[in-house]
C-alpha cells in the first residue's frame, strides 16, 4: 500500500520555525516527510534536516519523497531517544524541531496495521512493528481492572466498565484478534446513538500500545534542552490528552519556580527555559479544513528557547 499522508498546518509550522538557511532542524515525527520537505526547501547546502520515525514504512516513504535532498539524515527511532540520537550524530544543539503527534493517514487507512475501526485487520496498532506489545495482547490478556483504566484514562470512555466486562466474557468464548471483532463487541455492549462508539476504545488501545502519552511527557523537555537560544519547538496534537500535556509542560518550562503554592519560599531552583509564542493553539484555516478533514482537530503550540 502506498504511504499517503497530508501534512497538517504546514504553512503555520514553517512560519513559526523561523528557519535559518544554515541551521540544523529535527523532524521528530517524519512520516512521509511532508513537513521536512518544506523545511529542506528553506535550507542551503550548509543546513541540515534530521528526521526520526519509529515506523519503517514511514522512513522508506520519506527517503523516496526526499531523495533529491542531500542534507537529510534519516533515523529509525522513537523520539524519546532524541538526546541519544543527537549525541550519536555529534550534534550539540539544534535550531528548531517539530513534533506532529499521533497516527498517520497511512497507518489509519492500512487495515493490516490494525489502527482503524473502519478497516478489518489484525488487532495490532504498533507504530514500531518490532515492539512486542499489540492491541490483541492487551484485549486478550489484560485483567479487567487494567482494561477499565486504559479505556477511562486514554479514551475518556464513560462505558469503560461495561466494555471491559464484555471483553472478559467474550474472550472466554473465542480469541478477539481482529478490529471488526472488537468493533462489533463494543457496539453490542453499549447503547449509543453514535455511529462509532468504539472510537474511544481504539484510541485508548493505540495510546497504550505505543506509550504515547508517557513518551510525549518524557520527551518535550529533552527537545527544549537541545535547542539553541531563540530556537523554536512546534508541536501539533490531535486530541485533548496530548494537547493538555503539551500546554502544561510549556507552562512549567516557562516558569522560574514550580514549587507548590503552599511553600513560603522557592526550593525547586527551577529556571525558565522557554517563552510560549502562542498563548492559544493555532488551528487549521478554512481552506485547509476544506481540503483535509483530518486537520479539524489539529492544534499547534510553539515555544522558543531563552
Question: What is the chain's pLDDT, residue by residue, as a tens digit (306 residues)?
Answer: 555 567 899 999 999 999 999 999 999 999 999 999 999 999 999 999 999 999 999 999 999 999 999 999 999 999 999 999 999 999 999 999 999 998 888 888 889 999 999 999 999 999 999 999 999 999 999 999 999 999 999 999 999 999 999 999 999 999 999 999 999 999 999 887 877 899 999 999 999 999 999 999 999 999 999 999 999 999 999 999 999 999 999 999 999 887 888 888 888 888 899 999 999 999 999 999 999 888 999 999 999 999
Closest CA to 203 of 245, 259, 230, 241: 241
Question: Domain check: are 196 and 216 in the same one?
Answer: no
Does some domain include residue 102? yes
297 and 229 inside one domain: yes
**Positions at the binding site for S-adenosyl-L-methionine:** 33-35, 53, 79, 100, 107
Give the model's pLDDT for residue 210.
96
Task: Say what the pTM is.
Answer: 0.92
**Domain assignment present for 5:** no
The answer on 261 and 193 residing in a single domain is no
Which residue positions form the known binding site?
Answer: 33-35, 53, 79, 100, 107
Q: Secondary structure of 35-96 in the HEC alphabet? A: HHHHHHCCCCCCCEEEEEECCHHHHHHHHHHCCCCCCEEEEECCHHHHHHHHHHHCCCCEEE
* Within a domain: 1: no
199 and 77 belong to one structural domain: no
CA distances from 240 to 23, 102, 203, 267 (A): 32, 12, 12, 32
How far is it, in rounded angstroms, from Cα 49 to Cα 74? 9
Residues 232 and 187 in one domain: no
**Positive or negative, the Cα torsion across 11, 68, 85, 61?**
positive
Are 35 and 167 in a shared domain?
no
Domain boundary among 160, 181, 210: 210
Residues of the domain holding 279:
10-106+212-305
Domain stops at, among 159, 187, 210: 210
Same domain, 32 and 167: no
Amino acid at each position: 500500500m502506498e504511504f499517503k499522508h497530508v501534512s497538517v498546518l504546514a504553512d503555520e509550522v514553517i512560519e513559526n520555525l523561523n528557519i535559518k538557511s544554515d541551521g540544523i532542524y529535527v523532524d521528530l515525527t517524519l512520516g512521509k516527510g511532508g513537513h521536512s520537505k518544506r523545511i529542506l526547501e528553506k535550507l542551503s547546502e550548509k543546513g541540515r534536516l534530521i528526521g526520526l520515525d519509529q515506523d519503517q514504512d514511514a522512513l522508506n516513504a520519506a527517503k523516496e519523497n526526499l531523495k533529491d535532498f542531500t542534507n537529510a539524515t534519516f533515523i529509525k527511532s522513537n523520539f524519546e531517544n532524541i538526546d541519544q540520537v543527537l549525541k550519536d550524530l555529534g550534534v550539540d544543539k539544534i535550531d528548531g524541531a517539530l513534533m506532529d503527534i499521533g497516527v498517520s493517514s497511512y497507518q489509519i487507512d492500512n487495515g493490516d496495521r490494525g489502527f482503524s475501526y473502519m478497516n478489518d485487520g489484525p488487532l495490532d496498532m504498533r507504530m514500531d512493528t518490532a515492539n512486542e506489545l499489540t492491541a490483541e495482547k492487551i484485549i486478550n490478556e489484560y485483567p479487567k481492572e487494567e482494561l477499565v483504566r486504559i479505556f477511562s484514562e486514554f479514551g475518556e470512555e464513560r462505558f469503560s466498565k461495561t466494555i471491559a466486562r464484555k471483553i472478559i466474557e467474550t474472550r472466554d468464548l473465542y480469541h478477539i484478534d481482529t478490529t471488526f471483532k472488537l468493533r462489533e463487541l463494543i457496539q453490542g455492549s453499549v447503547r449509543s446513538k453514535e455511529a462509532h462508539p468504539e472510537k474511544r476504545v481504539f484510541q485508548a488501545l493505540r495510546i497504550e500500545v505505543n506509550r504515547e502519552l508517557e513518551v510525549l511527557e518524557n520527551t518535550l523537555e529533552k527537545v527544549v534542552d537541545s535547542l539553541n537560544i531563540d530556537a523554536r519547538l512546534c508541536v501539533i496534537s490531535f486530541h485533548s490528552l496530548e494537547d493538555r500535556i503539551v500546554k502544561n509542560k510549556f507552562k512549567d518550562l516557562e516558569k522560574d519556580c514550580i514549587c507548590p503554592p503552599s511553600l513560603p519560599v522557592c526550593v525547586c531552583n527551577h529556571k525558565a527555559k522557554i517563552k510560549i509564542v502562542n498563548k492559544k493553539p493555532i488551528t487549521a484555516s478554512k481552506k485547509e479544513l476544506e481540503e483535509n478533514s483530518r486537520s479539524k482537530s489539529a492544534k499547534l503550540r510553539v515555544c522558543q528557547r531563552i
